Amino acid sequence: MPIRLLTPDTIGKIAAGEVVERPSSVVKELVENSIDAGATRIQVEIRGGGLDLIEVTDNGSGIEPADLPLTLERHATSKLTAFNDLDHLATLGFRGEALASIAAVSDFSLKSRVAGEPGGQQIRSLFGSEPITSAVAAPVGTTISARDLFGNVPARRKFLRQPTTESGYVGRVVSAYASAYPTIQFSLFVDGRKSLQTDGGGDYLAVAGAIHGVEVGKAVLLVDPLEASAAIAGVDVEGWIAGPSVSKSHRQEIVFFVNGRWIQHRALAYALEEAYHSLLMVGRHPIAFMHIRVDPASIDVNVHPSKAEIKFTDERSVARAVQRSAHFALSGAPRADLPVASFASTFTPVQQPAFTMPAPVSRQRTLEPESDAPAHEPPRNHASGVPMLRVLGQVGASYIVAEGPDGIYLVDQHAAHERVMYEKILQQMKGAGVDKQPMLDPLLVELAPEEMAVFEKSREELTEIGFDIEPFGDGVVAIRAIPALVQRVDPAERLHLILRELADGGAGDSWLDSVAISAACHTSIRANQSLSLTEMRELISELEKTSQPRACGHGRPTMLHMSQVDLEKQFSRR
């Protein structure tokens, strides 16, 4: 085929495909323009998941009448004049084709008025046709409407979800920007019903409650600027995170903004989740909003068509700032603010306290818990936060039944012992080192190739946590000593289990931490192991002394609680 120029109509549709992926993409572009216009009120209305109608109204500065025809011209923008301006970009939207692309695939109208003008101006375009301008009555600000989105490219609609799902995507966009700009009053209407409203009062916590509901709002912890001794040069982080008592099965509620721009960044999400290490169950993820500010020259925002991703010149420093900020927020949570576990008809996990954070394994650590109970008043709980428990017995050779001040507790004996073992390893590493128990004769263990590879990688860490293991040739290792903490286990069997878990990636925020967690797990009391009453009491006593007794190293809960009130409800006494 000969080379030929595409028609303007085709060019417009192709460009729209880069910018307008779905209705939420349109909302994002328009909301960003409203923010750049200095709006203090932004209202978003959608119908039919955004396919029937998207309308964004703001009270920003508006558009001068003379500039109105340029709004639908490709590569026309008020955000920059030269390519080098990208290095110091202080605005959100700057893609000149954004409005033009939206207009190419919708029944588009824009009306605007600037302060001092007697009336407003409107420009309309039907699926990229020649725009028509006219005078209209309008308040100061801008209203942009896009109807019948993708009406001229029906193939695009086939790849969209149901209207309710698309509405959810729009809600996520508005919620994200409402979180990032608490001084702006946001509202969202879906099919005529108000879905979201923030007051614009500038309070991060109020916005979090308005977006996520009362339960999350009560668990929110402010992320304050780091102290000078802990701060990362050139990186400022603020926002909020939810305590570990509330979590999600997905990462969609982890929101990052950089210099006012919403981004997706796996490394930052990973850094944030590491701050919750051992506080959340496996498969659960935190709820958080973080606004990161760096020098605009240290990021590249022009690496993704919709600007959803950016590059940092020093990504590692930014990740450290995120993790450190979350860690300080969690460690500073007052115990009085922790949620009280409540139950309807079933047991649910006792909420994980956040007043003391276990330090990840390193060469220097501090693990002493603190008690905030008044000296003149005996506390109802131990310093760890665990209530005084009286052991009653064992269920299924796996769970310890105990009575507390407010109901009964079921303790997972394996998870509880794993927590005890993990913290004892940390404490001994902090001191003179982990005590070792020499074997009478070296125990030879044959390893599979993948196990041998992990052993070679982890040999130094295994030594540090109390194992003395040497290669013996031809896929065989010799165990010469094990941690003195380990009792009544088959060292060969447990070594296989440790190496297999590490082969799957481990569970810690460092390889040393992963080795310690795996070792604590696979050298602990197992489920389906009968314990005497004395052994159960000793285990509960050891658990009470830990700094984080409510979860094992993998984040699984160690205990469940049913209150006295719930017991009475179950037996129809209330």
User: What are 537-552's pLDDT values in tens digits?
Assistant: 999 999 988 888 878 8
Count up the domains in the chain and report the number: 3
φ, ψ for residue 134 (rounded to 5)?
-160, 160
Assigned domain for 220 exists: yes
Range of the domain at 282: 204-333
Structure tokens at 393: 């017995």
pLDDT value at 204 more than 80: yes
Q: What is the pLDDT of residue 427?
A: 85
User: What are 27-45's pLDDT values in tens digits?
Assistant: 999 999 999 999 999 999 9
pLDDT value at 291 more than 50: yes
Q: What is the pLDDT of residue 361?
A: 43
Q: Which of 145, 178, 196 is the last residue in one of the domains?
A: 196
Q: How far apart are CA 151 and CA 223, in angstroms?
A: 44
User: What are 500-519's pLDDT values in tens digits?
Assistant: 888 776 665 578 877 888 88
Together in a domain, 211 and 152? no
Together in a domain, 48 and 188? yes
Assigned domain for 564 exists: no
Assigned domain for 404 exists: no
Q: How far apart are CA 90 and CA 97, in angstroms?
A: 19
The CATH number of whichever domain residue 254 belongs to comes to: 3.30.230.10
Together in a domain, 152 and 29? yes
Q: What is the pLDDT of residue 337?
A: 35
Residue 242 DSSP SS3: strand
Q: How far apart are CA 171 and CA 195, in angstroms?
A: 8
Mean pLDDT of all residues in 383-400: 85
Using CA atoms, how far residue 156 sits from 20, 23, 51, 422, in Å, is: 10, 11, 11, 53
Together in a domain, 133 and 208? no
User: What is the reported pTM?
Assistant: 0.62
Strands ordered across the beta sheet of 399-404: 348-349, 559-562, 407-412, 399-404, 390-395
Mean pLDDT of all residues in 176-185: 96
Together in a domain, 184 and 214? no
Together in a domain, 328 and 213? yes
- pLDDT over 90 for what percent of the chain? 37
Strands ordered across the beta sheet of 120-126: 132-136, 120-126, 107-113, 141-147, 53-58, 41-47, 185-190, 193-197
Together in a domain, 307 and 255? yes
Together in a domain, 310 and 241? yes
Together in a domain, 86 and 216? no
Assigned domain for 110 exists: yes
Q: What is the pLDDT of residue 505?
A: 67
The CATH number of whichever domain residue 462 belongs to comes to: 3.30.1370.100
- 91: Cα within 13 Å, side-chain hemisphere: 20
Cβ count within 10 A of residue 372: 10
The CATH number of whichever domain residue 15 belongs to comes to: 3.30.565.10
Computed over every residue of the chain, the mean pLDDT equals 82
User: What are 331-382's pLDDT values in tens digits?
Assistant: 765 433 333 333 443 444 444 443 353 444 433 333 333 334 444 444 456 6
User: What are 101-138's pLDDT values in tens digits?
Assistant: 899 899 999 999 999 999 999 999 999 899 999 999 99
Q: What is the pLDDT of residue 102?
A: 92
Assigned domain for 225 exists: yes
Together in a domain, 80 and 139? yes
Q: Which of 196, 213, 236 is the last residue in one of the domains?
A: 196
Using CA atoms, how far residue 487 sits from 399, 437, 445, 524, in Å, is: 20, 10, 18, 9
Q: What is the pLDDT of residue 374?
A: 42
Mean pLDDT of all residues in 288-307: 79
Q: What is the pLDDT of residue 328?
A: 85
Q: Which of 333, 353, 386 is the last residue in one of the domains?
A: 333
- pLDDT over 70 for what percent of the chain? 82
Q: What is the pLDDT of residue 247?
A: 86
Q: What is the pLDDT of residue 278?
A: 65
Assigned domain for 367 exists: no
Assigned domain for 350 exists: no
Mean pLDDT of all residues in 261-285: 83
Together in a domain, 185 and 249? no
Residue type, 192: G
User: Which residues on adjacent β-strands are paired with residue 411?
Assistant: 400, 559
Q: How far apart are CA 422 and CA 427, in angstroms?
A: 9
Assigned domain for 368 exists: no
Together in a domain, 326 and 266? yes
Q: What is the pLDDT of residue 91?
A: 63
Look at strands 185-190 and 41-47 and give their pairing.
Answer: parallel
